[in-house]
Structure 1
């Protein structure tokens, strides 16, 4: 079950990639955005970040164990950051280009620093727990990069 939950970020990213690259528009999105940007904002960045907010706030011990870390009150801060990014990304999908750029910078700063932290932990602590070195690591790297390419 833990592996299925750990796969959620990449499943949402893959679904957004497929829908976006096939040119399927997101009905309520700003149509000036390319479909790939619409879906990455809504599904991969928006819904996934809301899921992360829920998980970090409501299942702290389980999430910490899956990362290979101790549970910490800082997870509530991570939950809050994810909540803001998720809501901002969904709003950006509806608001268009300037909002998409703004949420790109916010999410890239957060997610790429998270990826760097996970990478450091892999090398310094040999921590290859599923939610340190698994799908979430790749999602942290690829989602902002794909959004950047889509809105460029």
Structure 2
């Protein structure tokens, strides 16, 4: 049972960070009386961008995790693209975590840049599905919905936040 749960979480890691962000935002709203939009945007930036980015760096950079992840995406291990994605993920992870300590001045650039990164990654997944019929778990699974859906969530929250909600 526990092994199956861990496997499910591994295959849907972005969803895990999304749920953790929702839980954190809910606590901030209920316990700290923070505004709803600010709590959700801040939590998503800190956890779903910051912590996810650090985790993605680790999983793309270090063996044997990187090998397993490459195979899960449908690519051979030890290719340069994986280290490039690791570096970009680390950069976004650091930006997401800095959103917690720099006030809200990092929120807009971090949300916009991360959204662009994810949409491009999502388009790449779709191209792989169409060209190569690559339906590997980390190419056509929940990560595809994350890559295309999470930017919408971030941008909507960003617009609401900038509008004073």
Q: TM-score category by the smaller chain?
A: 0.7 to 0.9
Of 141, 144, 147, the residue aligned with 2:154 is: 147
1:2 offset after TM fit, Å? 4.7
1:51 offset after TM fit, Å? 0.6
Q: Is the aligned partner of 1:131 residue 2:135? A: no
Of 93-102 and 6-15, the range deviating more from structure 2? 93-102
- The number of residues matched between the two structures is 150
Give the equivalent residue in structure 2 for 1:88.
Answer: 95
Give the equivalent residue in structure 1 for 2:49.
Answer: 45
Of 95-104 and 123-132, the range deviating more from structure 2? 95-104
Separation (CA, whole Å) in 2 of partners of 1:46 and 1:14 = 14
Q: Which secondary structure does the structure 2 equivalent of 1:97 belong to?
A: coil
Give the equivalent residue in structure 1 for 2:15.
Answer: 10
Give the equivalent residue in structure 2 for 1:62.
Answer: 68
User: Cα RMSD over matched residues?
Assistant: 2.6
Unpaired runs of at least 5, structure 1? none
Structure with larger Rg: 2
Separation (CA, whole Å) in 1 of partners of 2:147 and 2:22 = 15
Question: Relative contact order (alpha carbons < 8 A, sep ≥ 6): 1 or 2 greater?
Answer: 1
Contact 1:16–1:40 (Cα < 8 Å) also in 2: yes
